Chains A and B, each alone.
Chain A
């Protein structure tokens, strides 16, 4: 990392059926995006617990991107609805903790949307860069 340019650390929690498959498709289509995000694969986005996200922020993540299937497309019927509710609650909580809620983003990206995956990662990385590092923001 050259001095002065901030390269954020981003964790991606993706469900295996849609968003992780979309990331595979982005790869197969050789769509380029920034390398700041490290993906972690779950079976379903509903497996992602609030504590995992907070744990990421606590350990130096500047941003967390959650990816699941579109409503109605969940491989496990309605896991993504649970995720949507959980993230909405967590957004409120982040505010209380002094973490900008733009650091946690939820996106529905289907296995067919390799293009969207790329765009979301690019945009989210840019957003986190603009928000600056987490350190010193008092977690």
Chain B
């Protein structure tokens, strides 16, 4: 029989407060197979780990159980320690007596009993654990970055600059994302396009970057080191190789459409590039509005005027297949739908606009060339009311969370407005002003110094009375109701993950939270990794953040990808499902249930063969196998049965 050592952690008082660790150690010592049991204040500390290492050597242990926190946190720590003690890492297991026991129970007797049961199940497990060797796989040294906003651009540049070939996929016609739409950036008031466009150009000219715009990732197979990706390149109806970007096609196109880039405040043509500095600077045709597609065969002006015959109405969607070793997801954000805030009249009152629309009004490249003008009559607004937290921090009706950037961009809006309209009045309704960040509080002070009026309270209603916009709100500092007449109202809307990105999340098999933001592997210690090895997260797709944070996170994600992509081989967990060829009858049931095509029927020998690199170790085959031939390594039926029996043991 194996000689098993059990190490019980106090976790300071986190465990010891509700679990009687001394009594527990005595109890576990008596359990069959346990050769050695001890407890220590912090098992994960160096002296704690040394206890494990020394005991393995001195007591000649064959297996180790560490009863402490969740294996998600420290399984690696103790497996490494076991290796240092001379054991195979897969005969070391953790019993979670913190998250699953001491933190969720109050009664010491009850918690101690449950902790002993949890430990005993794991002792039973290690009794049957076998030493395993990690599976080695070759790495495809290419990266895929999904999303061409500032996060994707930064990640792609960083990976490419490390010498790794990078594919950047952008679903729109140009990279640049939301940042390209912004006017000036807080707190320094750099022009957003001025700092962004050089990076966009760098992407287009980088030898190691392959930019695939107007395309979407359709399917992802495989795992870290070897992903197979299908990318749909949508038909642009313009031959990207022939087109020189001269622009005569969109000059001559007779169809005008509301521009998405201008947030509906400006027009574009049916053949268009979203903005003049677009990268790639090649137009696409919007088939929903193009006359040729609405009345087949008509118009064709663009085709006629194109000097290089690049317009091709016959073009089809195309599927590109690429192989990559790691993926960075940077799918960005949208703003919260203003239509949902019925009390603020967006959509019925023309001069109630969104924060993103106001960015376009302030932008030197925007529809008014930077002049602040009313949408309704083109007049200069003399009083603007800014409503912060429009739809944010409102658990009952809208978004529960704080989008973090709105306080700062509203302060910026107020300041830029005052710079454009000197006698203009900026009134800001707020719940709290949150200005955590380098230079942010100073910026906010500057805005109030320059005369913006802050009113602490929410706006209950915006409506029109005799053509005037009336804003009803509360001033919670004076305890009075406030009624303000405004020429324009700007809604500071929160961030939501890019709409329709759920399908991509499913394809990638990564997780998202209740608000659809991508879930990181650990909120503090692994903030740029997804739960799937080899897939990394960057930018607002993971949670609301401002530009400096996005750039930092993108570089972090890039360095994680680089760490894998600069290796020749990576290793996989060997806890996959094998086949006992003596028991296997070749029925093939497991072939059908395997989600990864990791199991193949060898028709000559009539047994199943496993493709180890594809198996992810879910164990579906093990429970489907009628003969018990398919067994998940170190989680075989016998182990589960023994664990169940020990969990039900009477004390």
Do A and B interact directly, with beta carbons closer than 8 Å?
A: yes
- Chain A residues within 8 Å of B, Cβ to Cβ: 9, 11, 17, 21, 23-28, 30-33, 35, 38-44, 46-52, 55-56, 59-61, 72-73, 75-79, 82, 86, 110-112, 118
Contacts of B71 in A (CB 8 A): 41
Interface residues on B, range: 35 or more
A11 to B642, CA, bound (A): 13
Given contacts A75-B531, A76-B616, contact A28 B103 (CB under 8 A): yes
Which of B106-114, B410-418, B534-542 contacts the other chain? Answer: B106-114
Contact between B114 and A111, CB atoms less than 8 A apart: no
A30 touching B114, Cβ below 8 Å: no
A88 CB → nearest B CB, Å: 15
Q: 1/0 contact trace for B514-546 toward A, CB 8 Å? A: 100001000000000001100000000000000
- Does A30 contact B104, Cβ atoms closer than 8 Å? yes
Q: Contact check, B103 vs A43: say whether CB atoms are below 8 A apart.
A: no
Q: For residue A111, which residues in chain B have a CB less than 8 angstroms away from its CB?
A: 511, 519
Q: Is B604 an interface residue (CB 8 A)?
A: no
Q: How far is the CA of A55 from the CA of B644 in the complex (A)?
A: 8
Chain A residues with CB below 8 A from B497, complex form: none
Beyond A24-B70, A32-B104, A111-B519, 13 additional pairs, beta carbon < 8 A: A17-B511, A17-B531, A25-B99, A26-B104, A27-B98, A35-B113, A38-B648, A39-B96, A47-B618, A47-B632, A49-B622, A50-B623, A61-B648
Q: Which of B70, B99, B511 neighbours the largest number of chain A CB atoms within 10 Å of its CB?
A: B99
Chain A: minimal CB distance from B210 (Å): 29
Question: In the complex, which residues of chain B have a beta carbon less than 8 angstroms from the beta carbon of A30?
Answer: 103-104
> Which residues of chain A have C-beta atoms less than 8 A from B532's C-beta?
75
Shortest beta-carbon distance, A7 to chain B, in Å?
9
> Which residues in window 480-509 of B have CB below 8 A to A?
506, 509
- Segment at the A interface, from B140-148, B162-170, B633-641: B633-641
Answer yes or no: B150 CB below 8 A from chain A CBs. Answer: no
Whether the pair B506, A72 counts as a contact (CB closer than 8 A) is: yes
Give the contacting residue for B99; candidates A27, A48, A52, A112; CB below 8 A: A27
User: Which residues B83-109 have CB closer than 8 A to chain A?
Assistant: 96, 98-101, 103-107
Chain B neighbourhood of A61, CB < 8 A:
644, 648
* CB–CB B114/A51 < 8 A: no
Please list the 4 inter-chain residue pairs (A to B) with the smallest Cβ-Cβ separation, ordered nearest first.
A27-B99, A47-B619, A76-B618, A49-B623
Query: CB of B354 within 8 A of chain A?
Result: no
Among B105, B509, B637, point to the contact of A35 (Cβ < 8 A): B105
Q: Are B619 and A112 in contact (CB under 8 A)?
A: no
Residues of the B chain whose Cβ atoms lie less than 8 Å from the Cβ of A86: 623
**Bound complex: CA A56 to CA B637 (Å):** 13
A76-B620 in contact (CB<8A): yes
Instruction: Pick from B100, B103, B637 the residue with the most CB of A within 10 Å.
Output: B100
Q: Assess A38 versus B99: contact at CB under 8 Å? Given A27-B104, A43-B632.
A: no
Residues of A within 8 A of B644 (CB): 11, 40, 52, 55-56, 59, 61
Chain B, Cβ-Cβ closest to A29: B103
Whether B622 and A38, one on each chain, are in contact in the complex, defined by CB atoms closer than 8 angstroms, is: no
Contacts of A59 in B (CB 8 A): 644-645, 648
CA distance A47 to B37 in the complex (A): 31
Q: Which residues of B contact A56 (CB under 8 A)?
A: 644, 648
* Cα distance, A60 to B644, chains bound together (Å): 10
Q: A33-B104, A46-B620, A112-B514 known; A38 and B531 CB under 8 Å?
A: no
A9 contact from B99, B100, B617, B648, Cβ within 8 A:
B648
Residues 604-619 of B, flagged 1 when their CB comes within 8 A of A and 0 if not, give: 0000000000001111
**CB distance B118 to A38 under 8 Å?**
yes
Q: Contacting A79 at CB < 8 Å: which of B111, B117, B618, B635?
A: B618
Taking the complex as formed, is B72 at the interface, i.e. its CB lies under 8 A from any CB of chain A? yes
Neighbour of A44 across the interface among B106, B509, B618, CB < 8 A: B618
Give the residues in chain B near A52, CB-CB below 8 Å: 637, 640-641, 644
Residues of B with C-beta under 8 A to A55: 640-641, 644-645
Closest Cβ–Cβ distance, residue A106 to chain B (whole Å):
14
Q: Closest residue of chain B to A118, judged by CB?
A: B104
Say yes or no: A112 contacts B519, CB within 8 Å.
yes
CA distance in complex: A47, B619 (Å): 5
* CB <8 Å contact, A38 and B595: no
